[in-house]
Amino acid sequence: MEVERLMRSAEELARKHGVDYYEIRISRVVMTEVSMSNGQLRGLSSNSETGIGARAFNGAWGFSSANDFGRFERAIETAMKIAKLSQGDSKIYTGDPVVDDAEMPVKKPFSEINIEDKVALVKEADSMLTGEKIVNRNVSYRDTIVETFYFNSLGSEIRTVVPRIRFGFSVTAKESGEMQQYWKSFGGTLGWEMVEGIDFSYWTSTVVEKAKELLKASSPPSGEFPVIADPELTGLFIHEALGHAVEADLVKNGDSILAGKLGQRIAVDELTVVDDPTLPGKFGSYIYDDEGIRAKRVEIIRDGVLVNYLNDRETAQYFDLEPNGHGRAQSYAHQPLVRMGNTYVEAGDWSFEEMLEEVKYGLYMIGDKGGQVDTANGTFTFGAKEGYIIENGELREMVRDVALSGKILDVLRGIRAIGRDVRIEYPGYCGKGQTVPVDDGGPHILTKALVGGLR
């Protein structure tokens, strides 16, 4: 077989070039994409691709990739030559070899669904997003199946199959020169059953109505206020502000405010934060990372104390930590980096109504509108899809274009309440020079932060 021949070849090339460690990923990706804008089909494709990503380590990494079977051996040798020439002094965790064959189960494989049905799905959603004041609408669908065979010089041989599906839509409403957007996305390591479980009538009407309501919303107040974040905004904060700051490569390079803080209390006692790529069906889930390390649940903060960094083989060795399977790559053509999977805040014991009662004047902020974070300085600015004034424990008028900013550690230490209503259902793609699928969430939380308008 071709793979067995490549395994033998890699072993021979390693001896020839004096390379102690190497790892090879051979991936076959099958992908379907459908997109529609304002009733017009804008994208329709169904493709497959097979490629190899080869890495070798000799105190520093060498990497090469190819998507031509005839160049696979050359990619392996090139990676080894680069590693040999790089002459670094780093070390990596090796560990014991792993042999496994694992697939993520689905109830209804989307590979068995005709492409006509996928187009019909997109058209149906598009037809439900029309209405007065709606001037733009977009719908997108994507499914992928990634089959990967990983082997390394330790003797690991791991085959995995991971399905992933994502579906979303957005609208833009306009009135008197003012424009507002709203959107919703669904996704997971699931099959077509995810699509069949969506209440299209509810979600399309919600997106349309929210966009129109935002046209009439007020601008937010400015200043420091008590803020209740909904589960989606909680997830954004934990992913962007905390999650990136505990990626061990950033910590190692001095780009994280959490460098040197393992074992220290950085948040309120009630806060526990987890990254768990093993959660069934979530968009950021996987079986093994791209370095052949089994995915595992990792507590980042436990009862307010920073207890772990997310790591890969190299940073686990550097910090003398147990490897926790967070070396992820966008594709076979990319090197693994330390990345998150499914990041979330664990449940507390407050209800949303109890949180409201705690606020005399503040804001309730809903949804993820993106933002910026500086992990080295520990500051952030995030936007929310919508907001509401809280006055004497009651929700008042809607506000729009609302931004939340502050210092990461101040917000973590200023949490007053953590809800019991955990939701992890906000799929997306995280960028760090390359993109990987992630999910995040948590419960409602009550904290204090600077609030202002988005510009």
User: Residue 318 in 3-state DSSP?
Assistant: helix
Residues 275 and 293 in one domain: yes
Which one, of 167, 173, 180, 81, lies nearest residue 385 by Cα?
A: 180
Q: How many CB atoms lie within 10 A of CB 260?
A: 9
Q: CATH no. for residue 154?
A: 3.30.2290.10
Token digits of residue 315:
């940073």
Residue 415: alpha-carbon gap to chain centroid: 24
How many other CB atoms are found less than 10 A from the CB of residue 224? Answer: 14
**211, 238: one domain:** no
Q: What is the pLDDT of residue 425?
A: 96
Per the structure block, which two tokens stand in for 160? 């995995």
User: Which residues touch 387 (CB under 8 Å, ≥6 apart)?
Assistant: 220, 363, 364, 365, 366, 398, 399, 400, 402
Counting the structural domains of the chain, the total is 2
Whether residues 159 and 239 fall in one domain: no
Same domain, 200 and 321: no
Check: CB of residue 272 under 8 Å from CB of residue 308. Answer: no
Q: Which of 238, 196, 186 is nearest to 427 (CA)?
A: 186
Within its chain, how far is the Cα of 30 from the centroid?
21
Q: Give the tokens for residue 249.
A: 């490569």
Assess whether 235 and 196 both reside in one domain: no
Give the residue carrying structure tokens 């990634």. 146
The CB density around residue 259, as the number of other CB atoms within 10 Å, is: 17
Q: Give Cα 331 distance to the centre of its chain.
A: 15
> CA-CA distance, 454 to 381, in Å (whole number)?
10
Q: Which residue in the block uniquely carries the two structure tokens 């070849």? A: 9
pLDDT of residue 255: 96
Q: CA distances (Å), 211 to each of 7, 130, 131, 184, 326, in order?
A: 55, 12, 11, 12, 37
d(CA 141, CA 46): 12
CA distance 187 to 21: 36
Domain with 65, as residue range(s), is 1-215
Question: Is 171 in the same domain as 230?
Answer: no
Same-domain pairing of 147 and 183: yes
What percent helix, strand, coil does the chain show, rounded to 5?
A: 25, 40, 35
Q: Which of 152, 184, 215 is the last residue of a domain?
A: 215
Domain final residue, candidates 199, 215, 231: 215
Tokens of 450: 């600077």
What per-residue confidence (pLDDT) applies to 1? 55
- In terms of domains, do 237 and 202 share one? no
Q: Which pLDDT score is estimated for 2?
A: 83
244 and 371 in one domain?
yes
Same domain flag for 170 and 300: no
Q: Which of 213, 264, 263 is nearest to 400 (CA)?
A: 213
Quick one: CA dihedral 369, 375, 376, 377, positive or negative?
A: positive
pLDDT tens, residue order, the chain (455 aa)? 588 999 999 999 999 999 999 999 999 999 999 999 999 999 999 999 999 999 999 999 999 999 998 999 999 999 999 999 998 899 999 999 999 999 999 999 999 999 999 999 999 999 999 999 999 999 999 999 999 999 999 999 999 999 999 999 999 999 999 999 999 999 999 999 999 999 999 999 999 999 999 999 999 999 999 999 999 999 999 999 999 999 999 999 999 999 999 999 999 999 999 999 999 999 999 999 999 999 999 999 999 999 999 999 999 999 999 999 999 999 999 999 999 999 999 999 999 999 999 999 999 999 999 888 999 999 999 999 999 999 999 999 999 999 999 999 999 999 999 999 999 999 999 999 999 999 999 999 999 999 987 65
- CA separation for the pair 193, 219 (Å, rounded): 40
Concatenating the DSSP letter of every residue in 88-108 gives -----------EEEEE---SS
Q: Please check whether residue 78 is in contact with residue 54, taking contact to mean a CB–CB distance below 8 angstroms.
A: yes
Give residues with Cβ within 8 angstroms of 46, minimum separation 6: 31, 32, 33, 115
Considering only CA atoms, give the Rg of the chain: 24
Report yes or no: 62 and 78 within 8 Å, Cβ to Cβ.
yes
Tell me, what DSSP letter sits at residue 219?
A: P
> Which pair of tokens denotes residue 200?
């299209």
Last residue of a domain, one of 215, 249, 282: 215
Same domain for 373 and 444? yes
Do 258 and 182 have their domain in common?
no
- Which residue(s) pair with 137 in the sheet? 171
